[in-house]
Chains A and B, each alone.
Chain A
């Protein structure tokens, strides 16, 4: 079954790469992400699958917004090139890169390590993680315990990208609501009322993912994206822009500082080893802080595009 899924995965990826219309790119990318999420689940990674689903739904909306802005900006779009090109030009365009990538791929496959997979680290982690870190979910225990520095630097990467998005994007002089988005969303009562019913369910689901991150699939990242999607739906319902950017960015930086302090306190200073009863509260607190960090970052990125990048 997994091979059928992977064949469809590659086909949808090729379609997404070679599509010409932007709307088709978005649709093919959504299909690609969904099939890859199902593949991750078959590979025994429900955490990654959940993160992929949440992130793909976010990035679909985000890409639609971005391409809509892009259409209004770009005036020069080249026509399709005539097919009667000379062989040398076509060779320079397609055959040489094809040969190049094929050569690199063969080299990569040749240097792939031989033999069976070394399972020493896997067995060690699976045997020790309940004693060392606590919790029932091994992936959460690893990214909050053994590999907490990776998580800290991931949070730093997200902070840097959010700051760069906020500083590189262009701010309009007037803060009027976008006429196009307002016309589609505001006057329709059916989706407004339905989303208004579903919004608390979305928030509850996010909180459930965060609070059960250490004993079931889920965790801070997935719950953060779910809470960010709640705020996006809130924009769609009320179509008002009342988010204060300065405050949210200050909150995000404070969350990051708290995250670093908590992790360093527990892992560096060895509170972990001395006080075993504080392990579950530590996991809960870290999951909550990561979720706040991710949710603030995604809210800033989305609202920045919706509200400021308008024309």
Chain B
């Protein structure tokens, strides 16, 4: 197994967010965990092939130590999609709290059973 320590940080953050998503008692904690999970995924994609003193892929004479432009182009769209997902999640949260007056999973399950 040969990987960068930088990638390991992003993977650790992703699984910490997954743990928070599993053990969340309310809906809000789930949404917050999803936001941090998205940023961790972006961090993982950008940290592949990291070397110290790496340069952005802009301009003509940048030399050899250049960052990979393909994950950057994909991750810009991913960040904007992340905000859209957060907005939809928040809409659903407010609709849920308007209908049931709570956002805790346990109380929601009880109310659903009745």
Min distance, Cβ B75 to any Cβ of chain A, angstroms: 5
The answer to whether B47 touches A43 (Cβ under 8 A) is yes
How many of chain B's residues touch chain A, expressed as a range?
35 or more
**A48 interface neighbour in B33, B76, B81, B87, Cβ under 8 Å:** B76
B contact residues around A6 at 8 Å (CB): 6, 9
CA distance A230 to B103 in the complex (A): 33
CA distance A94 to B39 in the complex (A): 24
CA distance A94 to B23 in the complex (A): 7
The answer to whether B18 touches A44 (Cβ under 8 A) is no
A216 within 8 A of B: yes
A288 within 8 A of B: no
A98 within 8 A of B: yes
CA distance A104 to B17 in the complex (A): 13
A contact residues around B12 at 8 Å (CB): 10, 105
The answer to whether A48 touches B46 (Cβ under 8 A) is yes
Main secondary structure of the interface of A (DSSP, over half): helix
From B69, which residue of chain A is reached at the shortest CB distance? A138
Q: Which residues of chain B from 43 to 67 have any CB-CB distance to chain A below 8 Å in the complex?
A: 43, 46-50, 52, 54-60, 66-67
The answer to whether B72 touches A139 (Cβ under 8 A) is yes
The answer to whether B46 touches A162 (Cβ under 8 A) is no
CA distance A14 to B37 in the complex (A): 11
B contact residues around A40 at 8 Å (CB): 42-43, 46
The answer to whether A136 touches B59 (Cβ under 8 A) is yes
Interface size on A, residues (CB 8 A): 96
CA distance A309 to B98 in the complex (A): 11
The answer to whether B87 touches A147 (Cβ under 8 A) is no
**B76 interface neighbour in A51, A73, A94, A112, Cβ under 8 Å:** A51
Q: List 10 A-B contacts (CB under 8 A).
A: A75-B101, A77-B102, A102-B15, A109-B11, A137-B58, A142-B69, A142-B70, A154-B80, A158-B84, A169-B91
Chain B residues in the interface with A (C-beta under 8 A)? 1-3, 5-9, 11-13, 15-20, 22-23, 25, 28-29, 32-33, 35-36, 39-40, 42-43, 46-50, 52, 54-60, 66-70, 72-77, 79-88, 90-95, 97-98, 101-104, 106-107
Question: Shortest 10 CB-CB distances between A and B: which pairs?
Answer: A44-B67, A138-B69, A161-B84, A138-B57, A142-B73, A154-B77, A143-B73, A17-B20, A76-B102, A44-B54
Having A138-B69, A139-B72, one finds 7 other A-B pairs with CB under 8 Å, namely A9-B13, A44-B54, A58-B83, A59-B83, A73-B101, A141-B69, A158-B84
Chain A residues in the interface with B (C-beta under 8 A)? 2-3, 6-7, 9-10, 13-14, 16-18, 22, 25, 29, 32-33, 36, 39-40, 43-48, 51-52, 55, 58-59, 62-63, 66, 69-70, 73-78, 93-94, 97-98, 100-102, 104-105, 108-110, 112, 114-117, 119, 121-122, 125-126, 129, 136-143, 147, 150-151, 154, 157-158, 161-162, 164-165, 168-170, 215-217, 219, 221, 294, 297-298, 301, 305, 309
